[in-house]
Structure 1
């Protein structure tokens, strides 16, 4: 029956087709094919397909009437109950096997059914593949056969179909990789990801299996960063072949069904590329650990800002990326000031932000070259929702440099200057412009530090620093340093050409806070007005109003003073610098596989090392090998064949009390051991 057809047997309607119904269908072995549903045979009135009612090689004609009822019930229920006994699943599978291997070889209609058969195999594997390793192996091999019976060229350029993970890499993958090696073509990222997911020697930890889309995107980024267009594989000596072992007893036990691929190499005989994949898998898994734990506790919270902050910013969804782009577009001179709750709403936050989340936000913004003020990562007070914050562009070529003592000194100098400039109740344009110009020309700071100070200045205009708070930071400074700072503050106050009474009072407070005689304020301001050695005051003509005018010479002198003040402060801060403490994940929050494995490596088959395990896995892919073929595999793995074979058989005896293979040439693989060594 073709896919989608229906028929009644013993009063039961079977939907979906893909079964053989009739009174005669010969198998290759000469007997009635086990898959044939013969309506003339008796069927019991009831049957439970969850009970075991068949032997290892069931046949519809040989099972009991109750078992036939159970099988027909399972078919009528859509072949989908995960509690069904696997014997009934195999009975149906025998029909797919016959259709794909025997009928499709000579019948165009059967060949046209191959895509539907592949889809059905994947569906069955999703339901029964984990409950029966035997079914998973046979179904995966038939899926390989169906996918490759026509084996088109350049498979590596096509999307990879879905395959189950078994003890060996699917033949489809091996052919695609072998074709890439023959063509000298780079392995594209999508194929490398599929290889990493299906490679039996690579262990995927929980973050990679729980956060699939994020893992694959991060893996692709790491892969392209390392290989550009892709890894180019060596054309090794081991040749690719497929020997299909039929599950149905309708195929003679001695019959070998083969697919050959000319001189296409089997690159899975090489361990180097797989080791590279293991490193990339771990590099893509580690950044997802915190996000994976969050998703384990908040299955629906992955798209919230609270969850996204645990991801690298490059993995944020398009909606957040657009919000960041809009934020950049709104910047004036590389920065924008807005309320903290407005910023959070723009980025999709759902809850009030804690200190930890605010720190995470600042780190995430820096990863996309956006700075955040106040500088919470350097210990600044976490803003309240209604507080104004600044977001600014960071130069891409420089680090944040927030631990640099020169920067810390310059920041304190700027805060003192803002306190003086706002003493008259208005932090005016002239004062702000002078400070902005001065900061922009500080040559001892990096571009990143200058940008951060300019953003900080935006906040200081709205909320100037408090002298009381600054006093505690100034007390440890030497007298000479405090006097130099005081003189500089007087110059800042005079920068707009006028020092108001309120500013004079503030300067007196600054001098007092610095431990400098307040009476010196007048003389220092007068000296600044009359001009330091590097700048002469330019008196205005009588009766002429000139307005505010920045004197370039005076600004240059102030800049020199500023750099000298910052240099003095740098020595003080250098001793007090402390690193930002790393985020420590409590042991109780570690996921189970995080605590036991971080290598991304599956244990070796039979306890063997990497090379011998690879040889053993390769041998298990076929029932028989010539000595010449095994010599090629051993050469690819840098092994001496005879010693390697002896070691593998010893490991098989130690683990399962049976050899993995017998004979010298040909070497015959023990089929019974397959059930014991599969994952």
Structure 2
């Protein structure tokens, strides 16, 4: 340092002498000045040796870029040990990540932020890395990267809604508006997992991952280490944004391409793609599978057949319920194709190329995959077979799929599950039914309608058609119900009771419509009304009715079980009298007389007859068109208590011991038994019309009843109340449920039951529903033209 100062002093002295000399000679002044400047520059340069050395050792600060900030510290996994010295695992890589924050300036060299790194851009702190940042061109021979975040570009300082509409920036950060850039940075900082984020933001992020895998991995060892994290990130994006077709296709195609390349090179096993390919497209992974099946002949596996079938037909049900469709397809594939579709020669060569999502990536970065696959004609024959299997699977789940798409109920709700074949129904429902089957196998089970629906995971009440499907499902588990759910006309409400009992082999729904059984049901219902009129003598009368049913020989075992279940239900809650009036009215006179005898015999069973029982019989006898004197004489008959009215084909019972035989009485009873047996076959059928010349002798009461019935017949065979509601509903095409409830309440009807009764009437008359929907309630305008005015 001292030597340098002495040298400077000598130089300055020489320069001073030179100037004095030049002033004397004049024209050489400019030459001396130039030499002085060169000397000063040389000395200054000699004074900065350390600064030059530092600049050479730190190439990250580019020449001519004095404003470049300090770069983010790279994660230590970017300098991994040699694989031969120390094996690198995903867990080991994750443990050496050392994130560091570095606010971005106006200029930053373009680079990749590895997993675990953090950067702050425009006041937004972004953790996790796996993005490109900087405003200087990237290396690797690909300068233009649309996902690179340029910190020099404007970013909005205002609050930005992440779900705001994106105007369409062509998948390029540089083409985004300041507001859109702010939204993108916020999405990155928020964990990149908002399922409602615009697809453009997710695709822009995906392009950076795509470049890292396809371009940087060619020459960068750090990129190969990052690939583990990027593949896991692609899987996460599929889970979060799989519902979006564009994102699912972009991510799925890249994963499929990389998986196939790895498999061909002897790496990881081939996995089934998780995304839905375009119609008619032969996916790369499927091509690789077909190549393997040609090399090692065996049938096409069911899972790959399902994937190919969906690619061919693109059924909507497969998109709505992929797991359920796969189950249906697998079963139908086994049934229709046996071991599977054979993949045979001849074959053809096909070049598969991956089409990048990023416009900046050319095909030169995606090596083509050459495969040997079946010729197009052979593929067409296989596709025809697959299409048939797809159609069969669609029939299994189509109604279910459309119902779930239209209604807000859960896919596991009973209403939806009833539309599926039993073998496709939800395991939770099948488990509940098996538990119920085990309980009912031990004997009868009385249960409320609400409790039954709760056990079977229903989301609400069931309409008539759904109750019929439930009856069929319960029958498959050997469970029968009383009342029969498929034949019950009235809508069930929560407190209503049902009796579940073991189903017999001959238990068919149509059996309960037989004439003899219908008469017995009416008689038992009326008898239970009489039974509930006197609490003291119920036990003996219950035993009488059970014995009565047990001794019937004109019914099948299944019908006998149904009658006992009906009695069990009626013993708990007496039947309503009003509906029975309508059922008794069309009976013939002799049928009414036989029913009245059953009531009298049941009342006579036990120790005595209370006044309440007599009053109830006095109320029922006129309804049966019977004289009260017959009631009184029957109650006082000494043999009445032991007499049980015979059914068709039954022999008259022998009187109990202790009574003397009256041969005339026995003969009369036999004649009555024969007449009852003949009349039971005509229940619910009007009696034969009288000859024309006997019209004057028609009973006046029958004429009055007919006239009264015609006066009360309303629109489309409905009663006045339901007719009034129908006329109100057809005045406009649509009603809200609240409006419908008000209309029904004004008339004194329950809305759901009334609508169901109206629709039943329409089905009987026109084979078409008039009312559809729950809220709003829609009126079928096409059917209105057929309704009577």
The alignment's TM-score, normalised by the length of structure 2, stands at 0.52
The structure-2 alpha-carbon separation of the partners of 1:329 and 1:418, relative to structure 1 and needing over 3 Å to count, comes to same
Return the match for 1:367 from 473, 481, 490.
Answer: 473
Give 5+ residue unaligned stretches, structure 1: 543-556, 596-679
Give how far 1:270 is off: 1.3
Look up the match of 1:166. 278
**Within the alignment, does 1:201 sit opposite 2:316 as a pair?**
no
- Map 1:106-255 onto structure 2 (within 5 A): 109=225, 112=228, 115-116=231-232, 118-119=234-235, 122=238, 126=242, 130=246, 139-151=251-263, 160-167=272-279, 168=281, 170-172=283-285, 184=298, 187-188=301-302, 198-199=310-311, 201-204=313-316, 212=321, 216-217=323-324, 220=327, 224=331, 227=334, 232-235=340-343, 237=345, 241=350, 243-247=352-356
Look up the match of 1:525. 640
Return the match for 1:405 from 499, 514, 527.
Answer: 514
> In the alignment, is the contact (CA less than 8 A) between 1:294 and 1:307 conserved in 2?
no
**Range with greater deviation from structure 2 (407-416 or 259-268):** 259-268
Look up the match of 2:390. 277
> In the alignment, is the contact (CA less than 8 A) between 2:464 and 2:491 conserved in 1?
yes
Return the match for 1:294 from 392, 407, 413.
Answer: 407
Return the match for 2:154 from 28, 40, 46.
Answer: 46
Q: Secondary structure at the match of 1:199?
A: helix
> In the alignment, is the contact (CA less than 8 A) between 2:480 and 2:502 conserved in 1?
yes
Give how far 1:473 is off: 2.4
- Map 1:64-103 onto structure 2 (within 5 A): 77=189, 82=198, 84=200, 88-89=204-205, 91-98=207-214, 102=218
> In the alignment, is the contact (CA less than 8 A) between 1:8 and 1:14 conserved in 2?
yes
Cα offsets for 1:578-626 (capped at 9, x unmatched): 99567948567899xxx9xxxxxxxxxxxxxxxxxxxxxxxxxxxxxxx
Give how far 1:458 is off: 0.9
Of structures 1 and 2, the larger Rg is shown by 2
Cα offsets for 1:300-330 (capped at 9, x unmatched): x777888888988988877766665665555
Give how far 1:483 is off: 3.9
Give 5+ residue unaligned stretches, structure 2: 1-111, 157-161, 661-670, 688-716, 718-756, 781-789
Q: How many residues align?
A: 544
- Map 1:640-655 onto structure 2 (within 5 A): none
Give how far 1:350 is off: 8.4
**Within the alignment, does 1:477 sit opposite 2:587 as a pair?**
yes
- For 2:641 and 2:126, how far apart are their aligned partners in 1? 103
Look up the match of 1:4. 115
- For 1:222 and 1:446, how far apart are their aligned partners in 2? 42
> In the alignment, is the contact (CA less than 8 A) between 1:52 and 1:85 conserved in 2?
no
- Map 1:214-613 onto structure 2 (within 5 A): 216-217=323-324, 220=327, 224=331, 227=334, 232-235=340-343, 237=345, 241=350, 243-247=352-356, 257-260=367-370, 270-295=383-408, 328=437, 331=440, 334-339=443-448, 360=466, 363-364=469-470, 366-369=472-475, 370-375=479-484, 378-379=487-488, 386=495, 388-395=497-504, 398-401=507-510, 404-406=513-515, 407-419=517-529, 425=535, 428-436=538-546, 438-439=548-549, 445=555, 449-465=559-575, 470-487=580-597, 500=609, 512-516=622-626, 518-519=629-630, 521=634, 522=637, 525=640, 528=643, 534-539=652-657, 566-569=680-683, 584=769
Measured on the aligned residues, the alpha-carbon RMSD in Å equals: 6.1
- For 1:397 and 1:224, how far apart are their aligned partners in 2? 30
Cα offsets for 1:64-116 (capped at 9, x unmatched): 9x99x999959964677637579955752551451598469999747756733
- For 1:471 and 1:326, how far apart are their aligned partners in 2? 40
